[in-house]
Amino acid sequence: MPQQLINGRQLAEDIKDTITETIYSLGGPRPNLAIILVGQRPDSQIYVQLKQQEAKKVGIDTHLYDCPENISQTELLETIQFLNNDPLIDGILLQLPLPQHLDTDVLVNAIDPNKDVDGFTAENLRRLQSGQPQAIIPPVFGVVLKLIAEQQLDLSDQSAIILGNSGIFSQHLAKILEQQGAQVEIFYQLDATVQKN
């Protein structure tokens, strides 16, 4: 198969245009996204700012919950539960990574799966693997599937390689590609080396 260059920037703009049109066509209140940021990590702050900017461009209102570094597990769970129960909030995004004293798995899975915009909860991943239509696809997975669709690639009996640094994340993506007929191998980036799964 000849090599193909993919214009990711143009594809991103097309996706944002589609989102903007969809939100406008709803004719109702703008969607509301709650973003939970814990601590003052510079990279996390930049990511959150970018997410807020892009959300605003397509017509999504954001609400930032800026939590102190030393927030307790109980306090953060209470915040998530409050947002789960808030009818104004359509989606919840917990910015990762979290400080080491917090249990990421417990906190992520405390998010209502129907408001889990990252698609990281165990329930959403279960829905995704079983092909349920109400599953929320993690954005990275969505991008991969969009690129495959845009290039009109048939993955039947094709080899696919995933290079990642998250075991659970890579394994779930592999299962999605396998559902499309691909034979998948996973390699993990560990420091300066790459190891096969």
The 10s digit of each residue's pLDDT in 178-189 is: 888 999 999 886
Average pLDDT on 136-150 reads 85
Q: End-to-end alpha-carbon separation of the chain, Å?
A: 26
The per-residue pLDDT for range 22-42, each reduced to its tens digit, is: 999 988 899 999 999 999 999
132 in the same domain as 36: no
Q: Where is the domain boundary, 73, 88, 118?
A: 118
Please check whether residues 69 and 48 belong to one and the same domain: yes
* Together in a domain, 169 and 126: yes
**Domain limit, last residue, from 57, 87, 118:** 118
Looking at the structure, do residues 99 and 130 belong to the same domain, yes or no?
Answer: no
What counts of helices (H) and strands (E) characterise the chain?
7, 6
State the average pLDDT over residues 109-121.
94
CATH of the domain at 60: 3.40.50.10860
Q: Mean of the per-residue pLDDT values for the chain?
A: 89
Nearest to 105 by CA among 164, 44, 168: 168
Q: What confidence tens digit (pLDDT) does each residue in 78-98 have?
A: 999 999 999 999 999 999 999
Domain boundary among 118, 153, 176: 118
Q: Which residues contact 8 (CB under 8 A, 6 or more apart)?
A: 147
Cα distance between residue 108 and residue 89, in whole Å:
16
Instruction: Tell me, yes or no, whether 103 and 172 share the same domain.
Output: no
Question: Which residue range is the domain that position 29 belongs to?
Answer: 1-118
Which of 36, 51, 143 has the alpha carbon at shortest distance from 83? 36
Give the number of domains in the chain: 2
Q: How many CB atoms lie within 10 A of CB 184?
A: 20
Average of per-residue pLDDT across 49-74: 97
